[in-house]
A = this chain, B = another copy of it.
Amino acid sequence: MEFTAQQIADFLHGQIQGDPSVKVSNFSKIEEGKLGTLTFLSNPKYNQYIYDCQASIVLVNKDFTPEKEISSTLIRVDDAYQSLATLLTLVDQAKPRKTGVSPLAFISDSAVIGENAYIAPFAYIGENVVIAPNATIHAHCSVEDGVKLGANVTLFSGVKIYNSCVIGDNCTLHSGCVIGSDGFGFAPVEDGSYSKIPQMGNVVLEDDVEIGANSVVDRATMGSTIIRKGVKIDNLVQIAHNVEVGVNTVIAAQTGISGSTKLGKRCILAGQVGIAGHLHIADGTIFGAQTGVPSSVKKPNQTLQGYPALPIMTFQRASVVYKNLPEIQKQILELQKQIQELENKIKK
């Protein structure tokens, strides 16, 4: 399908700068823009690429001011990244969707499958599972006994959902993610060994949650581990038992949240962050990459980084001085010597 700049600008309520009749049929990155494609510029780091870009159309933010001539037709919009999302979603939704339950899937007699489902070969659907309409379940997914899946859920290949977990509407779970595995709970025994605490709870994902590939959300010891509405979790993330993640919080790859910690709403966790157990993290907290969080964060909307998590400007200033530590130690020795000398002089 081809669209003109005029059609796209009308759809996005954007302003054209350049030839409104130019046509595109695909997308490209701004560094690799080709004729006949549409690209976008949102991150100023990439501004340099727009001047030589061969893409026929570039979506830019309203306030973008070029420093040189640009050959592409520009469409100015309020938020270029959001507009790109709108266009990509349009194209994505136009793709044909597989439907039908494969005879090579295993569906328990007691499972209830909503209408318009796609269930691939080798999917396993356990007893008393209830699946709402429009589910897409790829090969090798395992949906164990008593699980509930909401409407429009997508499970990519190899998703594992342990028994009794509840997945909300419009959730997307990527390959290899595990929902409802046992929390890591062991009680020490006198002989030095550990006895397992059976994990009797479950996991609840509310609506509009996305979980990345090979991430793990453990079931609660009692009650539920809860991922609230709109939470987005990247790949290889660990969510321990009895954690609660607040509405619209975003968690980047390889981050780990220890048991029973409650994350607030609209938090942003960068990659490889670690949060200790039994903490409360205030709404709107932002943690920089690799931050370690040993204690609760009470004041909302702070940006923190480092170990232990510090206000980001404090952390960055300290981290700049860190490399000078050997010099600092030397300077102190020198000062001690100088003062000794001064004292000696004065005594004389």
Contact = CB atoms under 8 A, between A and B. Distances in A.
Contacts of A266: 192
A331 B315 CA distance: 18
Interface string A148-181: 0000000011101010000000001011101001
A29 B242 contact: yes
B342 A232 contact: no
Q: Sort chain A's interface into a size bin.
A: 35 or more
A23 interface: no
A254 B255 CA distance: 9
B328 A317 contact: no
Contact of A328 (B39, B230, B250, B329): B329
A53 interface: no
A253 interface: yes
Contact of A176 (B81, B156, B176): B176
Nearest to A92: B198
A45 B175 contact: no
Nearest to A194: B232
Interface string A239-266: 0101000011010111010100000011
A25 interface: no
Contact of A256 (B160, B238, B253, B318): B253
- Ranked nearest first, the 4 interchain pairs of A and B with the lowest CB-CB distance are A142-B157, A92-B198, A321-B325, A124-B139
7 contacts: A84-B187, A120-B124, A124-B157, A192-B265, A256-B271, A306-B307, A328-B332
Interface of A: 27-29, 32, 39, 43, 45, 79, 81-82, 84-86, 88-89, 91-92, 104, 106, 120-122, 124, 138-140, 142, 144, 156-158, 160, 162, 172, 174-176, 178, 181-182, 184, 186-189, 192-198, 200, 208, 210, 212-214, 216, 218, 220-223, 230, 232, 234-236, 238, 240, 242, 247-248, 250, 252-254, 256, 258, 265-266, 271-272, 274, 276, 278, 289-290, 292, 294, 306-308, 310, 314-315, 317-326, 328-329, 331-332, 335-336, 338-339, 342-343, 345-346
